[in-house]
Amino acid sequence: MTITNAVSAMAGAFIMGSLLLNNANMFAEVSWLWLTFFVGFNLLQSAFTGFCPAAKFFKAVGFKDSDCCVKD
């Protein structure tokens, strides 16, 4: 799995998890939507700045960079 795929998978899992926790009867609270907002904001700012903490983490633990965008 590449870093890009890992970041996308983690973001999707966090978004779905926070929405499920918000809708679960035991955890029904609007505060879980802040997690969804944080993940979305982080994805948006990383598109403009190129800085992604999750990508740095996955690179540190040994995930490989994608070769699809390498230009010669």
* Per-residue confidence (pLDDT) for residue 72, from 0 to 100: 43
* Per-residue confidence (pLDDT) for residue 42, from 0 to 100: 92
For residue 64, the 8-state DSSP code is B
* Per-residue confidence (pLDDT) for residue 25, from 0 to 100: 67
Average pLDDT of adjacent 10-residue blocks, the chain of 72 residues: 89 89 73 87 91 90 73 45
* Per-residue confidence (pLDDT) for residue 65, from 0 to 100: 84
Report angle CA 19, 63, 71 to the nearest 5 degrees.
105
pTM score: 0.73
Per-domain residue ranges of the chain: 3-59
